[in-house]
Amino acid sequence: MNEYRIKGLSCAGCAQRIEDEIKQLDHGEEAKLSYNSGKLTVHPDVSMTAINRILKSDGAYIAKQADDHHNHEHDHGDSDHDHSHGGGNSKMLKLLVTSGVLYAAALLLEGMLDQQAIILLFLMATVISGYTTFIRGLKNLFKLKFNIDTLMTIALVGAIAIGEWKEATLVAILFGLNELLEGYGMEKARRSMETLLQVAPKEAIKLEQGQERIVPISTLQVGDLVKIKPGEKIPSDGIVSDGRSSVNEAAITGESLPVEKEAGELVYGGSINNEGLLIVRIEKAYKDSSLAKILHLVQEAQETKTPTELFINKFAKYYTPLIMLIALLVMVVPPLLFQGDWMTWLYQGLSVLIVGCPCALILSSPIAIVSGITRTARNGILVKGGVFLEQLGKIDTLAFDKTGTLTKGEPHVAQMEVYDENRFFSVAGAIESSSSHPLAKAIMKEVNSKGIAIPVADDIKTLTGSGIQARMDGQTYWLGNEKTIGHLSIPESVQDRINRMKEDGLTLVLVADDQQVLGLFGIADEIREESRAVIASLHRLGIKHTVMLTGDHAKTAEKVAAAVGVSDYYGGLLPEDKVTRVKELSAQGTVAMIGDGINDAPALASAQLGIAMGKGTDSAIETADIVLMQDHLGKLPEAVSVAKRVNRIIKFNIIVSLGLKVIALLLTIPGWLTLWIAILSDMGATIFVTLVSLTILIDRKSLRKG
């Protein structure tokens, strides 16, 4: 399939109509045109001459070929982004200003010049601002296609026919202004999206046999070494092989604080190296990097239509002919049946046509959706489509995996019991210092914090399934679980302490010599600092039910659940049990599942909405509908809040656009509807709906700080 960037699309309805026409062409049945992203996808065999003709008939044109998504970097380096849609917009603006000046002149000179000259001025103003709409409308009339342009054309012809020159000109000017603002509104939302996509660097300094060479990042392979100077962007995901620096990962994770990186640590493509020189070994070719995935997801997200949008498009299809029928009845019924004045009711009927224009209704959803996706993406939260954003605003139940989501997935020493302080820490340190086991790391962190000199252990032996035995200063020591100290008879007080720690859901590591227990470490998975606040925020946002699902035993699950404040928890679950639980919850409400591990992928897929932690596994990210690029839940409440706001704004927009129409139409009953009221109710609604949708891009917090 070939992809093209389309500029000059005046409205969502027009984009839909162009798509329908292209589908009629040979090989055109799979054509897709997205108003939100301005992208056309067509079969390579389709006639481009025919496509250009269809686009031209609507004032749209192909800007240039959009590269395939693996090469986004070229797509965004182009200068033509700065004028995107702008070519059409600036021309439209000039025409509108000219016709506005002519209109004002006609109004001012009325009474000074003869009527013919005034009419000529009005006519020129009408032609300059309204000719594109008029031509499109006439073509549609001949094809018996009824849409916004058809309505406006009939209204223009009608107003001129009954000599309402002022109103006819105002209809033309305001309809042009309306299209211009609609274009600007969508462009503003698209432009915000584009700036997000500009984070990809274009080139990298590659090191080969000690030589430096500048290469395009699309040519980088796994294993290549690249040099990143201070202030430069990291070209693709990799591991630092040399150097130290702090790195700004905001483009990927939405986190503003820099993260310290040194040899052996992972860095993301698109993040910025702050002060030191880094040599990075590329782990993923650019097209597989986190950044390329983000760009691809964000672009795809713009192209999915939400249920609301699909409904509105379907509604508009039947709605336009219905309005034309109502207008016709308004024009003919009162004069024929109730001796009404033909001119008066013809005027009323034309007003009905203008009121009926469904611009605002069609615009109720797309600008809000693109603004919402952009806003969440700025926070490092990827929503893979408008449909998922809409869904996120509707969830009432959130299921969490425990490890790596509510907890850090890193063990730490939660409790200790020390019976021989001198030897307990030094023996534990000597035995564990050479081990890379997660429990050993937790113990070493604790020992190091005490600042104790660590002796060297000899003759270290691993005891299968229980622990380690070692010799120091001619004495034997044991470290491990209860089985390790089977050679000792344990005093009752020590046994009580062991039992209490086990009841608290802790993993025990005991240290002993051949006579006695020197002390115990009670180790737990560390709960993330933000987990409790996040759960509380979610409850405040109206998510009634928060549930923790974990494979850990019930005691640990209970303890973590109490600490973070979830409303429910289930422990001892296998991956398939998580799926069962999610399905049970789905039967009672709208469920989102959030997890990070490979074992969460099935549960993520079975929830109505799957949310993955970005530092989690690739399979969880692929399966999920929403990805949090940070390694914590801190930004989740804001994403839910934005989604709810988008849904509220879409509902509000639909109510306003339909409400104003109903009120204006009711004015026809006493015959009070004028073309002025009709124009204001329609254009006003469209401008209002566009501006309200764009407020989603405003960050209230940064305003408050400002």
pLDDT of 84: 36
In terms of domains, do 534 and 608 share one?
yes
**DSSP-assigned beta bridge partners for residue 273:** 247
To the nearest 10°, report the CA torsion of 555, 556, 562, 566. -110
In terms of domains, do 269 and 352 share one?
no
In terms of domains, do 532 and 633 share one?
yes
Q: Is 60 exceeded by the pLDDT of residue 586? A: yes
Name the average pLDDT for the chain: 78
241 within a domain of the structure (yes/no): yes
Token pair of 86 as six digits: 């702008």
Q: Which of 239, 260, 285 finishes a domain? A: 285
In terms of domains, do 489 and 428 share one?
yes
Q: Which of 487, 509, 526 finishes a domain? A: 526
Cβ contacts of 195 within 8 Å, gap of 6 or more? none
For β-strands 2-7 and 39-42, DSSP reports them as: antiparallel
Question: How many separate domains does the chain show?
Answer: 5
**DSSP-assigned beta bridge partners for residue 461:** 469
Token pair of 210 as six digits: 């000690």
Which of 208, 211, 213 has its CA nearest to residue 225?
208
Alpha carbon 615 to chain centroid, angstroms = 17
For the residues 70-80, what does the mean pLDDT come to?
Answer: 36
In terms of domains, do 462 and 543 share one?
no
Q: Is 375 within 8 Å of 696 (Cβ atoms)?
A: yes
514 within a domain of the structure (yes/no): yes
In terms of domains, do 415 and 402 share one?
no
- Lowest average pLDDT, out of 48-57, 116-125, 296-305, 646-655, goes to 296-305
Most confident of 336-340, 464-468, 533-537, 662-666: 533-537
- Lowest average pLDDT, out of 77-91, 313-327, 672-686, goes to 77-91
Q: Is 229 within 8 Å of 245 (Cβ atoms)?
A: no
| 147: DSSP letter | S
In terms of domains, do 420 and 500 share one?
yes
pLDDT of 628: 83
Q: Identity (one letter) of the amino acid at 501?
A: M
Q: Which of 241, 263, 285 finishes a domain? A: 285
pLDDT of 102: 84
In terms of domains, do 533 and 581 share one?
yes
Q: Is 501 within 8 Å of 478 (Cβ atoms)?
A: no
Domain membership of residue 559 as a residue range: 383-407+527-639
b or e along 185-201 (b: 16 or more beta carbons within 10 Å of the residue's beta carbon)? bbbbbbbbbbebbebbb
Catalytic residue among 237, 401, 525, 600: 401
Cβ contacts of 358 within 8 Å, gap of 6 or more? 13, 148, 316, 319, 320, 323, 657
Catalytic-residue membership of 401: yes
SS3 state of residue 522: strand
SS3 state of residue 205: strand
- Lowest average pLDDT, out of 407-411, 412-416, 511-515, 614-618, goes to 614-618
In terms of domains, do 415 and 505 share one?
yes
For the residues 597-625, what does the mean pLDDT come to?
Answer: 70
Q: Identity (one letter) of the amino acid at 414?
A: A
How many Cβ atoms sit within 10 Å of the Cβ of residue 612? 30
pLDDT of 296: 64
For the residues 330-351, what does the mean pLDDT come to?
Answer: 81
In terms of domains, do 486 and 616 share one?
no
How many Cβ atoms sit within 10 Å of the Cβ of residue 574? 10
Rounded CA separation 227/292 (Å): 20
Rounded CA separation 358/656 (Å): 12
Cβ contacts of 564 within 8 Å, gap of 6 or more? 406, 527, 531, 532, 535, 548
592 within a domain of the structure (yes/no): yes
| 402: DSSP letter | I
- Measured at the CA of 54, the angle between CA 305 and CA 38, to 5 degrees, comes to 35
SS3 state of residue 668: coil
pLDDT of 537: 93
Q: Is 60 exceeded by the pLDDT of residue 680? A: yes
In terms of domains, do 531 and 401 share one?
yes
In terms of domains, do 667 and 684 share one?
yes
Token pair of 687 as six digits: 């401008």
3-state secondary structure 73-97: HHHHHCHHHHHCCHHHHHHHHHHHH
Which of 372, 387, 386, 383 has its CA nearest to residue 698?
372
Q: Is 50 exceeded by the pLDDT of residue 66? A: no
